[in-house]
Structure 1
Amino acid sequence: MCRCTKSSGHCYKQEEPIFDPSKSTTYSNITCKSALCSQLRSAPGISPGCSTSTCIYATQYGDKSFSIGYFGQEKLTLTSNDVFNSFLFGCGQNNRGLFRGSAGLLGLGRGKLSIVSQTAQKYGKYFSYCLPSSSSSTGHLTFGKNRVSSTVKFIPLSINSQGPSFYFIDITGISVGGRQLSISSSVFKTAGTIIDSGTVITRLPPAAYKALRTTFRRQMTQYPMAQPTSVLDTCYDLSSYSTVTIPTIGFFFNGNTYIDIDASGILAGSSASQFCLAFAGNSNASDVGIFGSVQQGTLDVVYDVAGGKLGFGLGGCA
């Protein structure tokens, strides 16, 4: 978030220092008549506007959070050797929603304005990350090929005209407790699936989720069920147990690749009395599936965008 006053809009308390463009010698606002302002139209969900000749952006996210502010450019320094002049970004003045004190959002999609595209000349549209299983562990976000392990398994990335900025992947099957579920591969092809670090819980086609839920519940009958919460409908009260055994869950992808989900990506809970299966079903078969951040936890997720590949590596972080 940029310097924000009561008159400029809604401000929230963030953990990191607020960026004040008036104190920067390298920041400048984009003007309304600039061709750069029109680039906002290429970004999904962003509309350009104008205020006293200054280009304004407005965007709303899937959870109804929104951000409105100035479209500007600044010198971005990642390391002493990795400096990007005229880096384009939004300087938020009116921000409302589930930002949880974060200093901002980093776009990693295919769009022209994402950091992936703006740093392509240096990093070749190649990046990786690992999302830790808890706040006490450390993950990473790495641009370039520096951290890629030889054990990473790659699957094809595809582009869908319905969402050209997203990364589409082909799920072909799911296993529970070491056995593949009886789900037709066509179930996953109807609307396709994207991988998205900004979506928390994986969303599956209705038929796939029903099969997953049924088998998971069958293998968890020794534990008492608890009330469902939000979109999570398979919950358990584990407060009376010192140890818990849960069935493994894994995914099959195009390219004959299989990945086991970490235990932290199978059950999610706010307390011992309510742990829930960390998956949800879409309302309709025509809704796009999403492979969310909880299920990506502890994996090294490697994006070779230029090469059209996505990689998974086990044990990328704890």
Structure 2
Amino acid sequence: MAPHTLSLLTFFSSLALFPLVLVSSRSLSTPSSRTCILNVTASLHQAKYSSSVTDQSETSIDSPTSSALFTLNLHPRDSLVVHNSSCLYEVSYGDGSYTVGDFIKETLTFDGGDTVEGVALGCGHSNEGLFIGAGGLLGLGGGALSLPSQLNASSFSYCLVDRDSNSASTLEFNSDDSPSQDSVSAPMVKNRQMDTFYYLGITGITVGGETLEVPENAFKIDNDGNGGVIIDSGTAVTRLESAVYELLRREFRKGASHLATAEGVAIFDTCYDLRGQSSVAVPAVELEFAGGKTLQLPAKNFMIPVDLEGTFCFAFAGTASSLSIIGNVQQQGTRVRFDLVNSLVTFEPNKC
């Protein structure tokens, strides 16, 4: 299958400290370009439905019937309402966002004019949550309804541009490009209880050259499918199981003790007053993968500004869940390649 490319950009939400990643796509039956939130842990590609589009800042599918609504052969469960011979869907997300609407089939057009017919997606009638300025959500997860699965893609990659950049990057499928020499690969770990997420084989975290003494099973999936570490473009900052985060925070604070501290902001509890300074030294943070590979994070990917006064915060947070998440702030400026054949995730710095 030939490579496909979509335009990609970062949208900084005015309602939160966290960026959303948007992707621009196009359909043939309603040929206007639409912008969707990129989500690597979601399996359903969903677009808003509107009977009358008046706000050009948001994109949507003009009518369910314009999108070959009745060509998807599904057998609705008794719990689903059948509406005009169509099958309804309902999806909810971890942040409380949800979407309800019709299952449809669409033709997608990629940059360069390539088209793919018969892509199943949700046409959302009722959408709530953080879909700011977007016409929907592009699901890149491992489930059968995700876009990579429907394209039968052997690989896909994206590069999230820096949050303060006005430029765009690309989302690519089936690229023939070889990873660069400075790339770092991590094995995907299979969770038989959850096929949607991409789990990484992380073995440790290093701060300032010192490897954290984390609990033995801190990054492992248990027999019930709980725990492990996933990579996600829809989560902003990396969330670590609370015991691991406390170790990380302690070591970072120790290495940054020369910096003036500031009050915490939102979920960030480790912040610094850097007003008037053009550069500062902070401890290096590295992720260690199975196989001995190490990914050093750029300082700008874990020390981020949270106001205009010079307050910067350590962009990690704890979670009561046993599941840890590598968020999009830590991925910015790096091309992330998902090799679905060889079960590898490769990080290529500065390859946007």
SS at match of 1:98: coil
CA distance in 2, matches of 1:297, 1:37: 41
Give the alignment partner of residue 113 of structure 1, picking from 138, 141, 145.
145
Paired AA for residue 254 in structure 2: R
Distance in 1 between the 2:168 and 2:65 partners? Answer: 32
- Report the CA distance between 1:82 and its aligned residue: 3.2
| CA distance, structure 2, for counterparts of residue 116 and residue 130 of structure 1 | 16
Structure number with greater CO (CA < 8 Å, separation at least 6) is 2
Deviation at 1:114, TM superposition (A): 0.6
1:36 aligned to 2:71?
A: no
In the aligned structure 1, how far is the partner of 2:345 from the partner of 2:160?
16
Secondary structure, aligned partner of 1:106 = strand
Q: Secondary structure at the match of 2:74?
A: helix
| Structure with more strand by fraction | 2
The reply on whether 1:140 has 2:177 as its aligned counterpart is no
- Matched to 1:139, the amino acid is S
TM-score, normalised to structure 2, is: 0.77
Residue 99 (structure 1) aligned with residue 131 (structure 2): yes
Task: Specify the alignment match of 2:211 in structure 1.
Answer: 180
Q: Report deviation, 1:185.
A: 4.2
Given candidates 50, 68, 74, the residue that maps to 1:4 is: 50
CA distance in 2, matches of 1:37, 1:290: 35
Question: What is aligned with 2:329?
Answer: 294
Once superposed, what is the RMSD of the aligned Cα atoms? 2.5
Partner of 1:274: 311
* Residue 58 of structure 2 is aligned to residue 20 of structure 1: no
Q: Distance in 2 between matches of 1:248 and 1:156?
A: 23
**1:188-267 to 2 correspondences below 5 Å:** 188-189=219-220, 191-267=227-303
Give the match's secondary structure for 1:214. Answer: helix
Deviation at 1:66, TM superposition (A): 1.3
In structure 2, the CA distance between the partners of 1:55 and 1:23, relative to structure 1 (3 Å rule), is closer
The structure 1 residue matched to 2:320, chosen from 283, 286, 290, is: 283
Alignment of structure 1 residues 128-167 onto 2, 5 Å: 128-134=157-163, 135-151=165-181, 152-167=183-198
TM-fit CA distance, 1:75 = 1.3
Q: Distance in 2 between matches of 1:101 and 1:112?
A: 27
How far off its partner does 1:196 sit? 1.1
Decide which structure has greater helix share.
1
Q: Which moved more, 1:261-270 or 1:211-220?
A: 261-270
For structure 1, the 5+ residue unaligned runs are 41-46
Q: Note closer, same or farther for the CA distance 1:48–1:275 as it changes in structure 2 (3 Å cut).
A: farther
Return the letter of the residue paired with 1:87.
V
Q: Is the 8 A contact 2:107 2:117 kept in 1?
A: yes
8 Å contact from structure 1 (residues 127, 143) kept in 2: yes
Contact conserved, 2:59 with 2:134, CA < 8 A, in 1? Answer: no
Alpha-carbon offset, residue 67 of structure 1:
1.3
Question: Any stretches of 5+ residues in structure 2 without a counterpart?
Answer: 1-46, 222-226
Equivalenced residue count is 297
